[in-house]
């Protein structure tokens, strides 16, 4: 009985040490990309509602309107029709919209997309990796990325249709 308890305590202690070691490693020895205007946008790969893979780096040469959103987010809901309308106008001019949902179920996201008739790619960040890499807080947050993959602006909060148009114009290649 005492041996069994000793083994369990040893295992728990080793697990705790491993967790502390990993935390120290992750915080001090891994390279972190600073998210700021002028920096290169971190690359990522996510799947859309149709099963197609989208990699940010595949959009090089185009302006990218990268929008992080949630179905429960009222400001996101207000700006989506504006983004969709401007996307229709700017797609032919080399501007792409990539809407990153923050880890919600596919069915919820699909209902939202159908309700608003969204025509741009909508991807789901199931494990919040992209959201964390881009340090997203609050929603909605939009990154304007130029044709070279550099962040030109970071917008938090709701945008009007006029602002969406201005922003898309600013990243036109």
Q: Domain map of the chain by residue range?
A: 1-30, 39-171
Q: How confident is the model at residue 26 (pLDDT cuts 50, 70, 90)?
A: low
E-strand spans in the chain? 45-47, 53-55, 63-69, 95-101, 122-124, 141-145, 151-156
CATH architecture of the domain with residue range 39-171: 3-Layer(aba) Sandwich (3.40)
Give the whole-angstrom CA distance, residue 1 versus residue 127: 41
What does the pLDDT look like over 95-133, one tens digit per residue? 999 999 999 999 999 999 999 999 999 999 999 999 999
Q: 47, 56, 122, 50: which is closest to 84 by C-alpha?
A: 122
CA distance 98 to 66: 5
Residue 22: the pLDDT is 67
pLDDT in tens, 30-67: 455 678 999 999 999 999 999 999 999 999 999 999 99
Average pLDDT over every residue of 24-31: 57
Percent of the chain topping pLDDT 70:
92
- Regarding predicted confidence, which is higher, 102 or 10? 102
Model confidence pLDDT, tens digit, residues 66-75: 999 999 999 9
* pLDDT at residue 17 in the model: 78
């Amino acid at each position: 009985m005492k041996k069994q308890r000793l083994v369990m305590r040893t295992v728990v202690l080793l697990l705790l040490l491993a967790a502390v070691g990993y935390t120290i490693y992750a915080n001090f020895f891994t390279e972190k990309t600073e998210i700021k205007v002028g920096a290169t946008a971190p690359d990522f790969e996510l799947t859309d509602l149709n099963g197609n893979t989208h990699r940010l780096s595949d959009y090089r040469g185009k302006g990218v309107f990268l929008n992080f959103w949630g179905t429960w987010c009222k400001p996101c809901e207000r700006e989506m029709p504006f983004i969709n309308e401007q996307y229709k106008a700017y797609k032919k001019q080399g501007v792409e919209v990539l809407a990153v949902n923050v880890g919600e179920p596919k069915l919820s996201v699909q209902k939202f997309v159908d309700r608003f008739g969204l025509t741009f790619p909508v991807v789901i960040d199931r494990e919040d990796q992209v959201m964390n890499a881009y340090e997203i807080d609050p929603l909605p947050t939009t990154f304007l990325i130029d044709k070279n993959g550099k962040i030109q602006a970071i917008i938090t909060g709701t945008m009007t249709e006029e602002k969406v148009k201005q922003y898309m114009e600013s990243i036109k290649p």
